[in-house]
Structure 1
Amino acid sequence: MFGFLTRGKSITRIALDPPVPQGDRHGIAVVLIVRNEARHAAEWARFHRLAGVRQFIVYDNGSTDGTAEVLRSELGEALTLIPWDQKLRDAVRGLEIHNQVLAYAHAVRNFGPSFRWMTLIDLDEFLVPKGAGDLNEALAGLEGCDNISLPWHMFGRSGHIEAPEGGVLRNYTRRNPDPMSDAKGLRNFKMIVDPCKVLSIRVHQIWTDAAGTTCNDAGRRFTHRTRETREFYCAERIQLNHYYTRSDAELRAKIARGPNLTTPDADHLRRVMRKVENIERDEIEDTSALDWLDRKGVSGWT
Structure 2
Amino acid sequence: MRCLAVLTVRNEGAFLLEWLAHHRAVGFTDFLVFSNDCQDGTDAILDRLEEMGQITHIRNDGPYDQGGIQFTAYKAADKMEIVKQADWILTLDVDEFVNIHVGDRTLPALFDALPEAHAITLTWRLFGCAGQARFKDEPVTQTFLRAAPVKMYWPWRSAMFKTLYRNDGTYRKMGVHRPRSPDPDRVEAARWFDGEGRELDAKFRTQRIFSNYGRSNYGLVQLNHYPLGAMESYILKAARGRAVHSDHMLGVDYWVERNFNQEEDRSILDMSDRMQAELTPLKADPELARLHEAAVTWRRDKFEELMMLEPYRALFGRLLMTPPTRALPMNEARFLVRYANLAREMSAGGEENA
TM-score band, normalised by the shorter chain? 0.7 to 0.9
Could you state the TM-score of these two structures normalised by the residue count of structure 2?
0.66
Q: Which moved more, 1:232-241 or 1:144-153?
A: 232-241
Say which SS state the counterpart of residue 257 (structure 2) adopts: helix
The alpha carbon displacement at 1:278 in A equals 3.1
- How many residues get paired? 265
Q: Which moved more, 1:216-225 or 1:75-84?
A: 216-225
Structure with bigger strand share is 1
- Aligned partner of 1:243 in structure 2 is 226
Rounded Cα–Cα distance in structure 1 between residues aligned with 2:38 and 2:108:
31
The alpha carbon displacement at 1:104 in A equals 2.3
Letter in 2 for 1:256: A
- For residue 168 of structure 1, the aligned residue among 129, 136, 140 is 140
On the 8 A contact 1:125/1:240 being kept in 2, the answer is yes
The alpha carbon displacement at 1:32 in A equals 0.4
- Aligned partner of 1:283 in structure 2 is 262
1:64-213 matches, within 5 Å, as 64-71=39-46, 73=48, 76-89=52-65, 96-110=66-80, 111-133=82-104, 134-178=106-150, 180-183=152-155, 185-196=157-168, 197-207=170-180, 208=182, 210=187
- Aligned partner of 1:49 in structure 2 is 24
Letter in 1 for 2:262: E
Structure with bigger helix share is 2
Runs of at least 5 residues in structure 1 that lack an aligned partner in the other structure? 1-25, 90-95
- Aligned partner of 2:194 in structure 1 is 216
1:189-238 CA distance string (max 9 Å, x none): 11111123214443123244656863213151333367632487432332
Letter in 2 for 1:150: L
Return closer, same or farther for 1:176/1:253 CA change in 2, 3 Å cut-off. Answer: same
Say which SS state the counterpart of residue 159 (structure 1) adopts: coil
Runs of at least 5 residues in structure 2 that lack an aligned partner in the other structure? 281-354
- Aligned partner of 1:35 in structure 2 is 10
The alpha carbon displacement at 1:109 in A equals 3.6
Return closer, same or farther for 1:263/1:37 CA change in 2, 3 Å cut-off. Answer: closer
Q: Which moved more, 1:244-253 or 1:227-236?
A: 227-236
- Aligned partner of 2:250 in structure 1 is 269
Larger radius of gyration: 2
On the 8 A contact 1:179/1:186 being kept in 2, the answer is no
Return closer, same or farther for 1:219/1:187 CA change in 2, 3 Å cut-off. Answer: closer
Backbone CA RMSD of aligned residues: 2.8
Say which SS state the counterpart of residue 159 (structure 2) adopts: coil
Return closer, same or farther for 1:88/1:202 CA change in 2, 3 Å cut-off. Answer: same
Say which SS state the counterpart of residue 150 (structure 1) adopts: strand
On the 8 A contact 1:88/1:99 being kept in 2, the answer is yes
Return closer, same or farther for 1:182/1:239 CA change in 2, 3 Å cut-off. Answer: same
Say which SS state the counterpart of residue 77 (structure 1) adopts: coil
Say which SS state the counterpart of residue 78 (structure 1) adopts: coil
Rounded Cα–Cα distance in structure 2 between residues aligned with 1:283 and 1:191:
26
- Aligned partner of 2:37 in structure 1 is 62
On the 8 A contact 1:130/1:237 being kept in 2, the answer is yes
Could you state the TM-score of these two structures normalised by the residue count of structure 1?
0.77
The alpha carbon displacement at 1:28 in A equals 0.6
